[in-house]
Amino acid sequence: MKEKAIICTVLLFALSLIILPIYFFGFTDNTSNRIYASRGTWHGHIYVNEFMGFQFEMPPTWFKYTEEELANILNVGGAMISEREIDFYNQDPPPFYFNDMYTRAFFSGDGVLVASNPIPLVVEQNGEIENLQAGMVQLSELSNVFQHFQMGDSPRRLGENYWYYMTYEVFPNRPQIYLINFYDGFRRAITITADSFKEIEDILNIFTEIDPQLKGIEGIIPTMENSVPAVSRGTWDGHIYTNPTLGLRFTAPSHYYIFSDDDNARATGVPPSFFDGEFISNDLWVEVNQLAHSVSCMGVRDDDAMHVFVNLFVQRVPLGSRDFPLHKYLQVSLEHQRSVHEQNGFGTQVIEVPGTFKISGHQWQMGRVAISAPGFHARTDVFMTIAENSIWFLAIGSSNDYDLQEILPRFSTVTP
């Protein structure tokens, strides 16, 4: 999953570098006749931006970023602004640019980012296009990150307006298209990335004119507060673990070691301060954004000769995804584990177990990773399910042979 996070960061970093030369090529502020940029909003899986004149229907397995996640990735220039009307002029210092929306595919780097340049432009439109071309040439000379720039022969219609555009590749060989539109003193921009220019064209065809029934209708701007449900990490009472969100109870053998909050924080890859309280905080979700990491909710291990362990992790279901392919995600996760183990010199076999297993009232998909080396073998059984808009991972394994049927009966259903 980390590869997708890297691709996402490259896309956003690429956009910021493209905007830099536009800014420094001499645009000036015009304080008369000020207008204010209107935010685009979401109506379910449809993004509507009347200021830019289009709507975009997010594909089923794509997801959208919340304001906090987008700001956290960019680190600069993407401060969260949840108001519908953006007053760029009264902010001190004024923002460099504002990123209004970012959505991407879960299993690839395909994505769309929509941004506005908050600095009014007073030069002629042809001059801006020349500045853009000059900036691209300068970028290609200074870095091999951007290559093979081509300006479009003529503006193309996207939604209700015409947009100038250029195509190029971001290192290594990642196609992108950058579209710009100048209106009412603002530069508006769309960046699209995909595996091929054919896929970019398919994404462009998703942009349409705004449905009259959606015009003037206030949608939502996704934030952690209004988009992410409360998810419990669960609690321990002696050697009994209860998770009310999942409706699950696990009774650990009395001699098992129970992970502390510090242990779970290390397994998640965050400071222990994020593990304060039963429910996963919005700050913790933002910290593990891009769906590249999961949150460790529970862990136990048997330190005797069997070395059995049981771990429960949770990730957010991609926000806005209408058809999340859990089975495919299990395959990708198992393959990632296989790759990591083989890089460390272990022989690894991935086994998909057909059908589902019922654990604590939920149907779980199952897969197995078998690891071997001279004098050593281990096995991990991985279970996945979706509950309360979250993806739950249950990992049970051992560095020796063990009987899975001795562990599963220790799970029971909790009735709210």
| pLDDT exceeds cutoff 60 at 3 | no
Q: Confidence band (pLDDT; 50, 70, 90) for 339? A: confident
Q: What does the block give as tokens for 171? A: 């290192």
Question: 8-12, 68-72, 294-298 — which is least confidently predicted?
Answer: 8-12
**Beta bridge mates, 117:** 187
pLDDT tens-digit map of 50-61: 989 999 999 988
Full DSSP string of 50-97: TTTTEEEE--TTEEE--HHHHHHHH-SS-----SSEE--TTSSSPPS-
Give the residue-averaged pLDDT of 26-42.
Answer: 59
pLDDT computed for residue 416 by the predictor:
61
* Cα–Cα distance, 47 to 59 (Å, whole number): 11
Locate 305 and state its tokens.
């000769």
Whether residues 203 and 235 fall in one domain: no
pLDDT surpasses 80 at 130: no
Indicate the burial class of 5 (C-beta count within 10 angstroms; 0-12, 13-18, 19 or more): middle
Domain span at 253: 228-413
Residue pair 264/299 in contact (Cβ under 8 Å)? The answer is yes
Q: Are residues 254 and 203 in the same domain?
A: no
Half-sphere exposure of 104 (CA within 13 A, CB side): 27
User: Comparing 84-93, 138-147, 382-391, which segment has the lowest mean pLDDT?
Assistant: 84-93
Residue finishing a domain among 203, 225, 247: 225
CA-nearest of 382, 325, 383 to 359 is: 383
Structure tokens at 209: 């004119």
Same domain flag for 236 and 210: no
Query: Are 247 and 191 in the same domain?
Result: no
What is the mean predicted confidence (pLDDT) over 159-171? 87
Strand runs labelled E in 84-134: 85-86, 98-105, 111-117
Based on the domain organization, do 396 and 318 belong to the same domain? yes
pLDDT in tens, 268-323: 888 888 888 889 988 888 887 654 578 999 999 987 756 789 999 998 887 888 77
Q: What is the mean pLDDT of the chain?
A: 78
pLDDT bin (cut points 50, 70, 90) of residue 131 is low
Q: Are residues 337 and 218 in the same domain?
A: no
pLDDT at position 123? 43
Q: What is the pLDDT of residue 80?
A: 42
Verify that 209 and 314 share a domain, yes or no: no
Domain check: are 273 and 137 in the same one?
A: no
DSSP state for residue 29 in the 8-state scheme:
-
Does residue 242 sit in the same domain as residue 118?
no
Between CA 83 and CA 50 the distance in angstroms is: 15
pLDDT at 248: 93
In a shared domain, residues 134 and 280: no
* Distance spanning both ends of the chain, measured CA to CA: 34
Residues 103-113: tens digit of each pLDDT: 988 877 789 99
DSSP type of residue 256: S
Number of compact structural domains in the chain = 2
Q: Do 218 and 317 belong to one domain?
A: no
Give SS3 for 261.
Answer: helix
- What share of the chain in percent tops pLDDT 90? 27
CATH number, position 126: 3.40.1000.10
131 against 102, higher pLDDT: 102
CA distance linking residue 292 with residue 8, whole number of Å: 11
pLDDT given for residue 298 in this prediction? 95
pLDDT at 250: 96
Q: Name residue 55's beta-bridge partners.
A: 48, 208
321 within 8 A of 105, measured Cβ to Cβ: no
Per-residue model confidence (pLDDT) at position 313: 94
Over range 257-266, report the average pLDDT: 93
Residue 378 confidence (pLDDT) above 90: no
Do 69 and 36 share a structural domain?
Answer: yes
Stretch (H or E) spanning 359: strand 347-359
Q: Render the burial of 281-300: b for 16+ CB within 10 Å, e for the rest.
A: ebebbbbbbbbebbbbbbbb
pTM as predicted:
0.77
Residue found by looking up tokens 């603002």 in the block: 186
Instruction: Show which of 225, 252, 275 is a domain's final residue.
Output: 225
Name the domain boundary from 208, 225, 242.
225
Residue 169: per-residue pLDDT: 86
